[in-house]
Amino acid sequence: MAEPRCRGTYDALLQQCDQLEKLAAENDERLSYRARRISTWSVAEQLDHIARATQAMAGAIEEALRVEGPGGGRPSLVGRMVLFTGWIPRGVGKAPAFTRPAAASREQLGSLLAQSRQALDRLEARLPEIDGARGRVNHFAFGDLTPRQWLSAIEIHTRHHLKVIRDIQKARGSPWRG
């Protein structure tokens, strides 16, 4: 049985996926909302980025599960702070190129979100393994993370961007109530 903390993080991720799917079902006008003082990315671009980043981070979990022993270093100071506080400051980090928004249509966005959920679904059966694994894989800003730390990073990252989306919509006078 997965440890409650690992299971709780995973369950929170599934709830976030539900929110992302509801957001992606919004009309094109709401998906195109942009508030430059909050973010240069639109709501749709935020969703696209979340999906790409989630897939990449789920892949890092799978890679870390293949590492024998406690390979790698430790989380960086920034990584430790983010994991400890559960908070990512706005406008500080720069998304790696492979996670930058690129979906050109609603269908592509829906496909990306479905793929990111599938990546998470594949991890569910491995939660007990994730919980105890000591292998580490490097995150460009957070340093070397264990699978459990990567799982937390996905949840924190997704929550961060859901807050950005909420603030974009609020700035546009049309808050999302999903």
Q: Which two tokens stand for residue 160?
A: 């961060």
Superfamily of domain 4-90+98-171: dinb family like domain (1.20.120.450)
Q: Where are the domains of the chain?
A: 4-90+98-171
In this model, does residue 12 exceed pLDDT 80?
yes
User: pLDDT (tens digit, 9 = 90+) per residue, 131-176?
Assistant: 989 999 999 999 999 999 999 999 999 999 999 999 999 998 877 6
Tell me, what's the pLDDT at 178? 59
Tell me, what's the pLDDT at 3? 57
What H or E segment, with its residue span, contains residue 145?
strand 143-145
Residues 65, 22 contacting (CB under 8 angstroms): no
Report the mean per-residue pLDDT for the chain: 92
The amino acid that residue 78 corresponds to is: V
Residues 34, 40: Cα–Cα separation, whole Å: 7
Residues 70, 139 contacting (CB under 8 angstroms): no
